[in-house]
Amino acid sequence: MDSVVIGVDSSTQSTKAAVVDAASGRLLAVGRAGHTVTGQGGARESDPEQWWAALAEAVGAGLKEAGTDPRAVAGVAVAGQQHGLVVLDAEGRPLRAALLWNDTRSAPQAAALTRGLGGPSAWLERTGSVPVASMTAAKWRWLCENEPRTAAAAAGVRLPHDFLTERLAGVAVTDPGDASGTCWYATATGAYDAELLGLLGLDAALLPEVAPTGGTRAGSLTSAAADALGLPAGVAVAAGTGDNMAAAVGLGLGAAGLLDHPVLSLGTSGTVFAATRSRPAAAALAGFAAADGPGTYLPLGCTLNCTLAVDKVAALLGLDREDAAPGGEAVLLPYLDGERTPDLPGASGLLTGLRHTTTPQQLLGAAYEGAVFTLLRALEQLPGAAADAGVPLRLIGGGARGRTWVETVRRLSGRAVVLPHSTELVALGAAALAAGAATGDDPVRIATAWGTGDGETLPPTEQDRAAAARIGAVFDAAADGAASALLTTTQGHR
């Protein structure tokens, strides 16, 4: 009986469970189940129990579609949405709905934490990241200040993937990659930072143990979890990681694979990242650790507004998402949910440069351009060779399957673009972590052998420098909060 592994992608909106042939990396099936996100204004929450139910449903559906004997499953790993705050009681049950990464209510707490340690440079030196509303540390402080009884009752504090891994294996464990997104784990030392925990008022005893890598075997599938998933008890369970780290593994990025090769992920949020051996320390980036072990990092810029924001603009205009044209003189920064990079949690969308001749298609094109330009600005901050125009960009996520997204990236960047053939890279990366837990092999090496990051290369096109300069002027004014500069910019483009 050929062995298979299961890689779980537990994202903001849904869970996907990839059933993968352990030897070849062939994707046999993907089971799916949805999530519900609630909240108005800046609030974004989900019930963690819903994630667990969705995981079981997705695994069952994947096994059924693949026609796989459950006894063939050798390993399971979870890649989860980053930064979410899950607080548990002594029985491991959630005390409240999880605060999600895109919950912006904790922006004041993030600013206070930055000041409390002495400013951005102090945070960069320790964690590689400056607190923003997305980070788990800011959410913990928000909980302490707004729901002190819940915070005081917490017997465990987990990230989303930690919560699911604990349900699978019965042990509280995380990995360096996802832990590095909390702002209480120091990439400088590879451990929780006692001074930061003190600043946060967070007891280290509430936190999971940090495994050496995401592919470390955290434990074995418990009898209760095995019953819920329809699998035999004893299956290897990996420590798992965050979704961005798993995507990097799926692409073969890391010490055993490609270094300094940048990735643009076009999803509900947009991200730009690369695996590097240089520990990042740029305020515009999250200085994450990678999932594949000490000494490898995953500097990442994240925007809150990407495909969902552009789809909203298309809906407002009554257009199909592909019915777009270059923006002409119009500039649209689609910051409909505030923004994380640049750090503008209270921002709204900004439109300027309208003319009588502006068409609806150009307005939609301007939304694409604003979203892509924001990501390309973050890309410029990546260390090493990642920002070198001669290095191709790897495009992943739902947007990478859209013609207008791809062509907008090519036009504004002027760089070659690689479109991986595999579309479920987070789940495939998690499957490689599961294979690593089952065999002891390096997950990045496993994924490279599988070829999950291979794809079509599109040659570079001439960069649209005029569009980049026009958008850049508005972007800089908005990021600086300089109304007078913005007025000058709009007048200058008449």
Is 133 in contact with 106 (CB distance < 8 Å)? yes
Q: How high is the pLDDT of residue 342? A: 87
Using pLDDT thresholds of 50, 70 and 90, give the confidence band for residue 483: very low
For residue 360, cis peptide bond before it (omega within 30 degrees of 0): no
Name the active-site residue from 9, 243, 260, 464.
243
Using pLDDT thresholds of 50, 70 and 90, give the confidence band for residue 383: confident
In the predicted model, what is the mean pLDDT of residues 133-141? 96
On the question of pLDDT at 131 being above 70, the answer is yes
H/E stretch holding 217 reads strand 217-220
AA letter at 484: S
CA proximity to 304, closest of 261, 349, 263: 349
AA letter at 464: D
CA proximity to 184, closest of 168, 208, 200, 205: 200
State the Cα torsion 189-191-193-194 to the nearest 10°: -120
Q: Which of 89-103, 327-341, 387-401, 474-488 has the lowest mean pLDDT?
A: 474-488
How many helices (H) and strands (E) would you count in the chain?
A: 17, 24
Q: How high is the pLDDT of residue 340? A: 80
In the predicted model, what is the mean pLDDT of residues 438-446? 97
Q: Which of 67-76, 333-342, 436-445 has the lowest mean pLDDT?
A: 333-342
Q: How high is the pLDDT of residue 298? A: 95
Separation between Cα atoms, residue 466 and residue 168, nearest integer Å: 53
Q: How high is the pLDDT of residue 423? A: 87
Is 475 in contact with 467 (CB distance < 8 Å)? no
State the Cα torsion 351-45-138-88 to the nearest 10°: -170
Residues 6+ apart with CB under 8 A from 488: none
Give the residue ranges of DSSP H helices in 390-482: 403-413, 425-439, 443-450, 465-480
Q: Which of 50-64, 68-82, 180-194, 256-270 has the lowest mean pLDDT?
A: 256-270
State yes or no: is 89 an active-site residue: no
Rg of the chain taking only CA atoms, in angstroms: 22
H/E stretch holding 198 reads helix 194-200
Q: How high is the pLDDT of residue 159? A: 98
Output the CA torsion sign for 11, 14, 15, 20. Answer: negative
Separation between Cα atoms, residue 447 and residue 427, nearest integer Å: 12
On the question of pLDDT at 492 being above 60, the answer is no
In the predicted model, what is the mean pLDDT of residues 323-346? 91
Separation between Cα atoms, residue 357 and residue 364, nearest integer Å: 14
CA 158 to mean position of chain CA atoms:
17
In the predicted model, what is the mean pLDDT of residues 204-226? 97
CA proximity to 451, closest of 250, 220, 186, 221: 250
> Could you tell me where the beta strands, DSSP code E, fall in 35-189?
45-46, 73-80, 86-88, 98-99, 156-158, 173-174, 185-186
Instruction: Say what percent of the chain tops pLDDT 90.
Output: 85
Question: How many CA atoms lie less than 13 Å away from 58 in the CB half-sphere?
Answer: 27
Separation between Cα atoms, residue 224 and residue 233, nearest integer Å: 8
The listed range with the strongest mean pLDDT (290-299, 306-315, 471-480) is 306-315
In the predicted model, what is the mean pLDDT of residues 37-56? 96
Distance in angstroms between the alpha carbons of the first and the last residue of the chain:
70
In the predicted model, what is the mean pLDDT of residues 91-97? 98
Separation between Cα atoms, residue 224 and residue 460, nearest integer Å: 52
Is 307 in contact with 315 (CB distance < 8 Å)? no
The CATH H-level (homologous superfamily) assignment of domain 4-248 is ATPase, nucleotide binding domain (3.30.420.40)
286-289 and 297-303 as β-strands: parallel, antiparallel, unpaired? antiparallel
In the predicted model, what is the mean pLDDT of residues 56-83? 97
Q: Which of 17-26, 332-341, 365-374 has the lowest mean pLDDT?
A: 332-341
Q: In degrees, to the nearest 5, what angle opens at C-alpha 69 toward C-alphas 63 and 72?
A: 100
In the predicted model, what is the mean pLDDT of residues 475-492? 55
In the predicted model, what is the mean pLDDT of residues 454-476? 96
Give the residue ranges of DSSP H helices in 201-251: 223-229, 243-250
On the question of pLDDT at 484 being above 50, the answer is no
Neighbours of 293 (CB within 10 A): 22
On the question of pLDDT at 488 being above 60, the answer is no
pLDDT tens figures, 182-191: 999 999 899 9
Q: Which of 94-108, 308-322, 366-380, 473-487 has the lowest mean pLDDT?
A: 473-487
Per-residue tokens: 323: 């019915």
Going from N- to C-terminal start, the domains of the chain cover 4-248
Q: How high is the pLDDT of residue 1? A: 67
Per-residue tokens: 383: 């260390």
The dihedral region occupied by 211, where left means phi > 0, alpha psi between -120 and 50, and beta the remainder, is beta
DSSP 3-state of 236:
strand
In the predicted model, what is the mean pLDDT of residues 43-70? 97
In the predicted model, what is the mean pLDDT of residues 431-442? 97
